[in-house]
Structure 1
Amino acid sequence: MPPDFQRLMTEAARLTRAGELRRATASIRAALGQGAAPAATPTAAEDDCVVIDVEARRVEPEPPMQKPVPASAPASVPGGQFIAGSHTDVNGAHEYKLFVPPVWHGQALPLVVMLHGCTQNPDDFAAGTGMNDAAREHGVFVLYPAQTQRANASRCWNWFKHNHQQRGRGEPALLAAMTRDVMARYDIDPQRVYVAGLSAGGAMAAILGDAYPDLFAAVGVHSGLPAGAATDLPSALAAMKSGANAPPKNTAVPTLVFHGDADATVHPANGEHAIAARAGGVTPESTRARSDNGREYTRRRYRAEDGRVVAEHWAIHGAGHAWSGGSARGSYTDARGPDATEEMLRFFREHTLPTAR
């Protein structure tokens, strides 16, 4: 980080409050070493505004992509396959990585869509979360869409822009179409498709659950924000700092939330709002415990009238902006917390769509 990081971020906050969004964005980029400090006149277009994770430890290079294998290719190799592919729409080709479990022989299996955070990529996210190892054990496909620097300079999903928050538009439409493409190619079980993400990816996962309840049977939001938390840069920065002011959109999709209560990048109140979108008004069952790795946590479970658990909130005490129980092989991880990967897969297994779509 540049030595004057704090000064530049303070200046960005001041400029945002003053309504000078272009100069605020330039100051944020300068703080991350991605450009010069803002000049006396605006230097960047408002459409180029990005919301970034200001505690990023590193920026990974774009990984080289292999050619995708057809769905008919054998996948029963030891350990499964982690292959590269692309989905093409009117805006061009969009790359992804896909984990194919070794138990797959053409039968319908579940799919988890994993959305990385800012500055991350599919390989980094897979390594940090350990999702492929867990998916290998449970017989699950895992799709990792890759955000590009062309779409966002910090490779964030654009959760905070109004044109990327609705069904049939922007990144939600792209991600839903990519998911359906992979489902068709690998004969995925349409009743067992899930989406999860970290930070900006968690915010986009919440949007996808809200926009496509007929596609995703459950959602995992880790260190993210609820759908509708922001519609532009100022409201995004405000939500990240102190929690969304707007009431969360109600969703019928079962939701699991993980959030560190010492997160200084995305305020923990956002986790509360994300869970309220699914379980507002329901009295939870609450337990406090310590993970095998050392961190204490509070787990709250929310049940519907029929007794089904429709939402869970895990507050990880003392944890910052990091994937709980993750590996140091990837960025944004906290090895001391409870295993968010295993808990998400467990929660997902408890939920299926009522009928095939």
Structure 2
Amino acid sequence: MIQQKNSRQLTELKNFGSNPGLLRCWLYLPTILAPKTPLVVVLHGCTQNAATYDHGSGWSKLAEEKGFAVLFPEQQRANNANLCFNWFEPGDIRRDAGEALSIREMIGHVVVSHGMDPDKVSITGLSAGGAMANVMLAAYPELFAAGAIIGGLPYGIASGVGQAFERMRGHKAPSVSQLQLALTTAAIKLGDYPRISVWHGTHDQTVKPVNAEQIVQQWAGVHHVSGTPDVIETINGHSRKVWLDERGRQVIEVNLITGMAHGVPLSFAAEAPLGNSGPFMLEAGVSSTARIARSWGLADDADVAIAEDAYQRGPEFTAAPSGIEAVIAKAMAYAKPGPARDAAGRDEQGVGKVINDALRAAGLMR
């Protein structure tokens, strides 16, 4: 049930399920919602909420331009005083229990009620949200095509706050076999596991970078890859390693952002940046939002280039309101043929009608 809308165009949903984790739920839908729209689930970090994380990371802006939907679970202070998702509490990370079940219910409700593509659901998050994204990928692997964990931690490695802080600091790390056992016993999985993307700052003092290595080790077993990456490259000065499965598909990648502290790597120096600077939204010369979306088939090379200011506009370029070109393009893609041409060979409705309809849908024309 739609309850209210805030200034960021995130609509709060209530009555999406039993909600045992007592979480809030916000949804962003693009202006033109096509059949079988992909869904991205985005989990904020500690001290943040859905709106602030969206404002910083730029997910709803990209969703409007590219035509996918974004779901934002949100923590409440009654559950955690610092607004952290409880990735370290056994009752909140088991399949069909606590916060994990609440998020599962949100996803199921939105997919069914809006006719979204159940095979194109992905999840990402920062810090505690990144750890909780890993919880969802482990507990409900059949639900997701892919996931991106930013400054997060492996699944099932802590029980309680004290142990959580130890793991964040990289102390008393579990063995590889313990990491992989936690994952394989989280759920019964038949078929492919979701693809995994890991992003972490090399100078992260809040969640030590060793956690990024452990996430890779945890997922390497179910993807049947070795400890040696198949691709090693440098992207805008940062290290990227990729593991391919036996079919040659990318199943794991890790991006270590040189010199970055704890936060989301973005590129605010771009002329048209995706997202906004703020706490835990850090300049890195690379847009994790755009690159993650591209890896999920939701964006393309041009979107990444624009977000990172590598796109050179030609003299013929004319500025237009953000997202309008995409609105028109999507309307054209889903347009039905108009009436036949008139005696002079002109299209009486066709393209003009489609564009006008798109502008009306965007609220730019009456």
Say whether the fold is shared (TM-score over 0.5): yes
Partner of 1:109: 37
Q: 295, 302, 309: which is aligned to 2:250?
A: 309
Q: 296, 299, 318: which is aligned to 2:259?
A: 318
User: Aligned partners of 2:252 and 2:91: how far apart in 1?
Assistant: 28
Shift of 1:345: 1.1
2:152 matched to 1:224?
yes
Checking the alignment, whether the CA contact within 8 Å between 2:88 and 2:164 is kept in structure 1 is yes
Aligned residues: 270
Partner of 2:199: 258
Shift of 1:225: 0.1
Q: 67, 70, 83: which is aligned to 1:155?
A: 83
SS in 2 for 1:242: coil
- Please list, as runs of the form range in 1=range in 2, the aligned pairs for 1:13-52 lying within 5 A after superposition: none
Checking the alignment, whether the CA contact within 8 Å between 1:114 and 1:145 is kept in structure 2 is yes
2:27 matched to 1:98?
yes
User: Aligned partners of 1:92 and 1:242: how far apart in 2?
Assistant: 28
Shift of 1:290: 4.8
1:162-201 CA distances to partner (integer Å, 9 max, x unpaired)?
1112101111111101111111111110000111110000
SS in 1 for 2:111: helix
2:138 matched to 1:205?
no
Partner of 2:283: 335
- Please list, as runs of the form range in 1=range in 2, the aligned pairs for 1:95-174 lying within 5 A after superposition: 95-105=24-34, 107-174=35-102
Shift of 1:233: 1.9
Partner of 1:233: 161
Query: Which letter does structure 1 place at the counterpart of 2:234?
Result: A
Query: Which letter does structure 2 place at the counterpart of 1:268?
Result: P
User: Aligned partners of 1:125 and 1:244: how far apart in 2?
Assistant: 31
* Distance change in 2, residues 1:284/1:67 (3 Å): same
Shift of 1:254: 1.1
Shift of 1:95: 2.3
Q: Rg larger in 1 or in 2?
A: 2
TM-score with structure 1 length normalisation?
0.71
Shift of 1:94: 3.9
- Please list, as runs of the form range in 1=range in 2, the aligned pairs for 1:282-301 lying within 5 A after superposition: 282-291=227-236, 296-301=237-242
- RMSD over aligned CA atoms reads 2.2
Query: Which letter does structure 2 place at the counterpart of 1:228?
Result: G
Checking the alignment, whether the CA contact within 8 Å between 1:278 and 1:310 is kept in structure 2 is no
Consecutive unaligned residues of structure 1, counting only runs of 5 or more, are 1-65, 70-79, 351-357
Shift of 1:231: 1.4
Shift of 1:84: 2.2
* Distance change in 2, residues 1:228/1:94 (3 Å): closer
Query: Which letter does structure 2 place at the counterpart of 1:348?
Result: W
User: Aligned partners of 2:33 and 2:243: how far apart in 1?
Assistant: 34
Once the two structures are aligned, what percentage of the paired residues are identical? Answer: 33
Checking the alignment, whether the CA contact within 8 Å between 2:11 and 2:26 is kept in structure 1 is yes
User: Aligned partners of 1:190 and 1:244: how far apart in 2?
Assistant: 38
User: Aligned partners of 1:104 and 1:323: how far apart in 2?
Assistant: 28
Shift of 1:278: 1.8
Shift of 1:216: 1.2
Query: Which letter does structure 1 place at the counterpart of 2:3?
Result: K
Checking the alignment, whether the CA contact within 8 Å between 2:265 and 2:287 is kept in structure 1 is yes
Checking the alignment, whether the CA contact within 8 Å between 1:301 and 1:313 is kept in structure 2 is yes
Consecutive unaligned residues of structure 2, counting only runs of 5 or more, are 185-192, 268-274, 299-366
Checking the alignment, whether the CA contact within 8 Å between 2:241 and 2:254 is kept in structure 1 is yes
SS in 2 for 1:343: helix
Checking the alignment, whether the CA contact within 8 Å between 1:157 and 1:201 is kept in structure 2 is yes
Query: Which letter does structure 1 place at the counterpart of 2:239?
Result: T
User: Aligned partners of 1:243 and 1:136: how far apart in 2?
Assistant: 42
User: Aligned partners of 1:234 and 1:177: how far apart in 2?
Assistant: 29
User: Aligned partners of 1:176 and 1:92: how far apart in 2?
Assistant: 11
Checking the alignment, whether the CA contact within 8 Å between 2:22 and 2:99 is kept in structure 1 is no
* Distance change in 2, residues 1:243/1:323 (3 Å): farther
* Distance change in 2, residues 1:267/1:92 (3 Å): closer
SS in 2 for 1:210: helix
TM-score with structure 2 length normalisation?
0.69
User: Aligned partners of 1:265 and 1:145: how far apart in 2?
Assistant: 23
- Please list, as runs of the form range in 1=range in 2, the aligned pairs for 1:5-84 lying within 5 A after superposition: 67-68=3-4, 81-84=9-12
1:323-346 CA distances to partner (integer Å, 9 max, x unpaired)?
001644442111224111112112
